[in-house]
Amino acid sequence: MSFSLAIVGRPNVGKSTLFNRLVGKKLALVDDQPGVTRDLREGEARLGDLRFTVIDTAGLEDATDDSLQGRMRRLTERAVDMADICLFMIDARAGVTPTDMIFAEILRKKSAHVILAANKGEGSAADAGVIEAYSLGLGEPIRLSAEHGEGLNDLYSQLMPLADEFEKHAVDTSPEVDIDLDEDDEHTDDVPMPTSSKPLQIAVVGRPNAGKSTLINKIIGEDRLLTGPEAGITRDAISLRTEWQETPIRIFDTAGMRKKAKVQDKVEKLSVSDGLRAVKFAEVVVVLLDAAIPFEQQDLRIADLAEREGRAVVVAVNKWDIEDSKQEKLRDLKESFTRLLPQLRGAPLITVSAKTGRGLDRLHDAIMRAYEVWNRRITTAQLNRWLTGMLEQHPPPAPQGKRIKLRYMTQAKTRPPGFVVMCSHPDKMPESYSRYLVNGLREDFDMPGTPIRLMMRGQN
Ligand code: GDP
Ligand code: GDP
């Protein structure tokens, strides 16, 4: 049994763009299908292994200002009645508008299952809008870029449990399906564990010859790779699916990509966009270094990329089997790591041999832990107790004699953890003080190997 999802929101926020992305090609025909009205179009959507019906309320575009509100209300209500789940979209660049608030109210009243999406979320121009979206009272927004295909993993994560519920609902026929999208502030340890329907997505990145293919083959099991899908591995365009020490995983297929690159004879050029694709795919990125030549320019670039994309990161140093002075080498590596990748402070550094398989247990554990931290949620109460201590220990600066007041702090998101601090004069807050807080969070709440986002926000 599948479910239906209606995309609602004011004109121009990107509804059709998302619709098209979810449905793929073959779109021209959907309007001609019986039962589909001109202003509500339907399509069969795919997202990961989910299949569902998507309804787009695109017909509002030609509404004049006068008629807009009424039509919008009717159309939205109809879409909400038709669909199991509503995806309410705002334009993160524009921020929350009065029209958005009207929508939010309709949706709250209809008490539908609402997923809030802040679209056009690529780039920092969207930061403020994403935070503002919380004020709609519809839970945590997903940061999306329908145009660039970003944030679809998060959409998947939100749809997945709902899809499960609708399936269950179909079986037990209970009249109420009560799903709470809001995360419970009192629980800090409700990390979604990987399951066979939502495997942990891992990518191994690094320079050519670091040993990526060897490592991936080792994880998957070389024999099984040769025997293919019958042995429980399904191969789609970019990823291989298997279990690693009983953890269902999907691993980015570096070798498959490279084969394609060779065919196209653009090996070097592709390896960069390859890395980017791998990073975007992954929840946890393993940066694989060659022990003989660690922290090359290319390694640093890709590690930095993983951090900027907000992925959990584990650094693995490969070919440890041929390393002579291991003790000394490890010390050097740790020193270089701290110096060259300060943005990944605290990320685990694991020595492995992809060839012999040594260290792979520790790598697995480090990945699981990084994933857990990446999903971590800290309660507002805990955060504010902590903030008080931090402020006492080291008061915020007073530019031009006026001390910046930090009033309140909350965790706005997970994957990676993101925090918002309400303060006076957020624009005057020096980078060094933000860094003090981020490093403090990392230490005191034990969050190694995950990017931490901190946003200063003024109160209005
Ligand atoms: P709709 O009226 O809500 O269906 O919006 P459309 O899908 O027609 O998109 C409106 C405009 O926003 C178009 O020019 C899109 O190209 C643009 N757009 C859609 N998604 C994104 C996005 O993620 N980022 C940016 N920058 N623009 C987007
Ligand atoms: P990729 O380009 O990153 O996919 O690297 P490959 O997996 O193709 O490995 C490059 C070379 O390094 C191959 O000759 C591998 O046999 C070798 N290699 C990979 N891992 C190890 C290791 O742990 N120890 C040693 N000694 N050699 C390795």
In a mutational test of the pocket of ligand 2, which residue from 205, 207, 209, 271 has the highest number of ligand atoms less than 8 Å from its CB? 209
**Taking the alpha carbons of 414, 417, 421, 427 in that order, is the dihedral positive or negative?**
negative
Token duo for residue 442: 């990392």
214 lines ligand 2 (CB under 6 A): yes
Is the pLDDT score of 122 beyond 90? yes
pLDDT for the residue numbered 349: 94
59 lines ligand 1 (CB under 6 A): no
57 lines ligand 1 (CB under 6 A): no
Is 153 annotated among the ligand-binding residues?
Answer: no
The three-state (H, E, C) secondary structure of the chain, written as one string:
CCCEEEEECCCCCCHHHHHHHHHCCCCCCHHHCCCCCCCCEEEEEEECCEEEEEEECHHHHHCCHHHHHHHHHHHHHHHHHHCCEEEEEEECCCCCCHHHHHHHHHHHHHCCEEEEEEECCCCHHHHHHHHHHHHHCCCCCEECECCCCECHHHHHHHHHHHHHHHHHHHHHCCCCCCCCCCCCCCCCCCCCCCCCCCCEEEEEECCCCCCHHHHHHHHHCHHHHHHHHHHCCCECCCEEEEEECCEEEEEECHHHHHHHHHHHCCHHHHHHHHHHHHHHHCCEEEEEEECCCCCCHHHHHHHHHHHHCCCEEEEEEECHHHCCCHHHHHHHHHHHHHHHCHHHCCCCEEECCCCCCCCHHHHHHHHHHHHHHHCCCCCHHHHHHHHHHHHHHCCCCCHHHCCCCEEEEEEEECCCCEEEEEECCHHHCCHHHHHHHHHHHHHHCCCCCCCCEEEEECCC
pLDDT (mean) for 40-65: 72
Cα-to-centroid distance, 210 and ligand 2 (Å): 6
Indicate the range of 264-273, 368-377, 436-445 predicted with least confidence: 264-273
Cα-to-centroid distance, 348 and ligand 2 (Å): 21
What mean pLDDT is reported for the chain? Answer: 79
pLDDT tens-place string over residues 211-233: 988 899 899 875 454 444 444 44
ipTM score = 0.56
- Nearest ligand, measured from the Cα of 259: 2
Is 458 annotated among the ligand-binding residues?
Answer: no
Adjacent-strand bridge partners of 146: none
In a mutational test of the pocket of ligand 1, which residue from 17, 20, 148 has the highest number of ligand atoms less than 8 Å from its CB? 17
pLDDT for the residue numbered 273: 64
Distance CA 41, CA 24 (A): 14
197 lines ligand 2 (CB under 6 A): no
Query: Of ligand 1's atoms, which has the minimum distance to the CA of residue 148?
Result: 23
Cα-to-centroid distance, 42 and ligand 1 (Å): 18
pLDDT for the residue numbered 271: 53
CB 235 within 8 A of CB 310: no
Cα-to-centroid distance, 448 and ligand 2 (Å): 28
pLDDT tens-place string over residues 298-336: 889 889 889 888 899 999 999 999 988 899 999 999 999
Indicate the range of 108-112, 396-400, 427-431 predicted with least confidence: 108-112
pLDDT tens-place string over residues 156-212: 888 877 776 665 443 332 222 232 333 333 334 456 788 877 789 999 998 888 998
Cα-to-centroid distance, 119 and ligand 1 (Å): 8
In a mutational test of the pocket of ligand 2, which residue from 212, 213, 214, 298 has the highest number of ligand atoms less than 8 Å from its CB? 214
Output the residue whose Cα is nearest ligand 2's atom 2.
209
Name which residue leads in pLDDT, 367 or 24: 367
Greatest mean pLDDT among 49-53, 80-84, 258-262, 332-336 lies in 332-336
pLDDT for the residue numbered 106: 82
Is the pLDDT score of 80 beyond 70? yes
Cα-to-centroid distance, 339 and ligand 1 (Å): 41
Indicate the range of 53-62, 114-123, 164-173, 192-201 predicted with least confidence: 164-173
CB 404 within 8 A of CB 429: yes
Name which residue leads in pLDDT, 102 or 145: 145
